Structure 1
C-alpha cells in the first residue's frame, strides 16, 4: 500500500510538473482603462487572472501602456505578451511594420466613444477644420477618424495642422484654446462637453472602430493553454459585467473617476463583444485599404492570418 501511495504521489507530482512546464513563469499584459475598457478594469480589479493562474504559480504582470504603437513595439521586443485592448488601426500598422502580433479575442465596437471635439464657444463642422490646428494621437483610430472625415469633405490631413498629442493633453489644449479641435475619447469627450465644447464628428459614417485583445504570436504558439486561459478569463469578465452590471459600473466609474451616470453612458457607447465574425475580418480588410491609400500604412499584410482561430470561437 505504501508503494502504491508513493507511486500515486509521484505520478501526481510529475503531472503537476508537466503542467507547470507548459506554463510561462509570468504573463505580461497591459492595463488600459481608456476609453472605457470595462473588461480590462474588471479583470484586474477583481484579480481574475491571478485567480485563474494561481494553481500553476504564474505571475501576472500588469503594465500601463496606453499607446497602441508602443504596445506593438513592446510585443516585438518580447517585453509584452498581451495587449488587453488595442484598436485595429494600431494592430494593422504594427503588423505592417513586421511586429509579430495577432488578435486573441474581441473587446468593443465603440462608434460613439471616439470624437473630434471643437474648442468651447465655437460650433465647427469638418469643413471648418481647413487650416485649423487639430491635436490628437497619431496612428490610432482617432487619427483614422480625422483622416476619413477630411477625405469625405474633399480634404486631406495636409489641409489641417495636425499635432501629435495624447488625448488627455489634446483635451487640455482644446479647452485652453491652444488648438481648434482635439481627438478625444470616452470620459474626455464628456468632460469637454461639460466645459462647453461641442462634438464635430464621431466615427458614425466615417470609421467602424474595433477594439481587440492582441497577443504576441510566439506566446500563443509556445503556451497555447495559457493563451486560451487568458482569452477565457477576458470573456468571463464580460459575462460577469453583463450579469452584474450595477456592480461593474461602480468599478468602472471609480477607475475612470466619473459618475455612475457617465459610466452608464460610456457602457452604452462601447458596444462590448468578444467573438469576432466574418464582418470583423471584412472590416479589417477595409481598414487596411484605407490606411494604405492614405499613407498611414506602407506594407499590406494577410489580414486573416492576424486573427487566431480562438478569436472566432
Structure 2
C-alpha cells in the first residue's frame, strides 16, 4: 500500500507538471519563470521578434527566460500547444479552429498577418490548369493546416471532395520536393516553399483565392492566459513592435526571413509581397472567415457535424487582450 501511494503521488505530480507546461511560476506566482514561443518561416513577424530580442527585453525586469521553438507548420505549432511544450504558437486561423473542435485548450489573441500564403501548385508541363483537373490525381498537403483546408475548400467549390483525389500527407517542405521531383501531380503549397518553387522550378499556381487563406493567428494556451494575463499583454506588445517594424522596413524584413529560412532574397521578397500586416486586432472579419471555413470542413467531415461552428469560433477568438494593449 505504501508503494502504491508513492506511485500514485508520483503520477499525480507528473500530471501536474505537464499541465503547467513550459511556464513554471516564480515564488510569488505573479509571473512565469519561462515563456516558450514558437517562430515560423510562414510568420515573418515572429522572425523579426526573435531577431531583435524584444521579448527578452520586455521580461528582463521579471527575470523571465524566453525560449524559441521552430514550428514547421500549423500542425506542429498546435501539437506543441496541446502538449504544453510551448505557450504561444503561430498558426493559420482555420487550423486553429480544427484544433479547437478537437478540444485543444487554446485561444487566439493576436493577428500576425493576413497572408496569401497558400495556393494550389503544379509543374508547368503537368497539364493541370484548374481544380477540376485534379480528379484522380495525387495531391500533396499537410493535414491540419491552411493549405490542406484551402485544398478542401477549392475542391468543394468545384463540386469535388477529397475522395475524388489521392491526398498524399506530407509536411510542407516535403510536399514541395515531391512536386519538384514528380512524385505528386499537384501540391497545396505554403510560403516560403511555394515562392521558392515558383522562382526556382517554374511551378505554376493554377488556383489562387485570397479569401480561402485564413489569417495568421497567434494562439496562447488557455491555462497560461488565465494564470498570467499580464504576460500575455507583454507578448502582444512585443509582437506589435515587430509588426510595425516589419511594415516600416520591408527590405530588412525580407533579409531576416531569407537568413532564417535559408532561402534566396528574391524568394523572401515574393513571400512578403503576399502578406498584409495592417490589422492585428482579432475581429468580425476573422470570425466570419473562420465560420465560412468551418462550414466547409463540417461538410467534408473534418469537423464533427454536431458542433456549433459559430460558438466554436467565439470560444477560439478572444480580442480583449489586443484591444487592451493597442486598441480596437
Q: Paired residue for 2:66, among 36, 60, 63? A: 60
CA contact (8 A) 2:108 2:317 kept: yes
Residue 203 (structure 1) shift: 2.9
**Equivalent residue of 2:75, what SS?**
helix
> Is 1:291 the counterpart of 2:297 in the alignment?
yes
Instruction: Show the counterpart of 2:35.
Output: 27
Cα distance 1:174–1:262, how it changes in 2: closer, same or farther (>3 A)? Answer: closer
Instruction: Show the counterpart of 2:122.
Output: 118
| 1:37-56 matched pairs, under 5 angstroms | 37-56=43-62
> Is 1:199 the counterpart of 2:205 in the alignment?
yes
> In 1, distance between residues paired with 2:210 and 2:313?
23
Q: Paired residue for 2:236, among 225, 231, 236? A: 231
CA contact (8 A) 2:156 2:296 kept: no
Between stretches 184-193 and 49-58, larger displacement belongs to 184-193
Q: How big is each residue's C-alpha offset from its partner over 1:234-264, in whole Å with a ceiling of 9 and x where there is no partner?
A: 0111112223333222212222233333323
Structure 2: tracts of 5 or more residues without a match: 1-25
CA contact (8 A) 2:150 2:213 kept: no
Instruction: Show the counterpart of 1:190.
Output: 195
Instruction: Show the counterpart of 2:178.
Output: 173
Normalized against structure 1, the TM-score is what? 0.87
> Is 1:242 the counterpart of 2:247 in the alignment?
yes
> In 1, distance between residues paired with 2:139 and 2:86?
31
CA contact (8 A) 1:120 1:175 kept: no
Structure 1: tracts of 5 or more residues without a match: 1-17
> Is 1:77 the counterpart of 2:83 in the alignment?
yes
> In 1, distance between residues paired with 2:230 and 2:168?
43
Instruction: Show the counterpart of 1:307.
Output: 317
CA contact (8 A) 1:115 1:203 kept: yes
> Is 1:139 the counterpart of 2:150 in the alignment?
no
Residue 74 (structure 1) shift: 2.9
> In 2, distance between residues paired with 1:241 and 1:20?
36
Q: Paired residue for 1:91, among 92, 96, 110? A: 96
Between stretches 141-150 and 283-292, larger displacement belongs to 283-292
Residue 284 (structure 1) shift: 1.8
Aligned length: 292
> In 2, distance between residues paired with 1:128 and 1:245?
37
> In 2, distance between residues paired with 1:245 and 1:119?
30
> In 1, distance between residues paired with 2:244 and 2:203?
35
Larger radius of gyration: 1
Report the RMSD for the aligned CA atoms in angstroms: 2.0
> Is 1:128 the counterpart of 2:133 in the alignment?
yes
Instruction: Show the counterpart of 2:157.
Output: 152
Cα distance 1:23–1:303, how it changes in 2: closer, same or farther (>3 A)? Answer: same
Residue 51 (structure 1) shift: 1.3
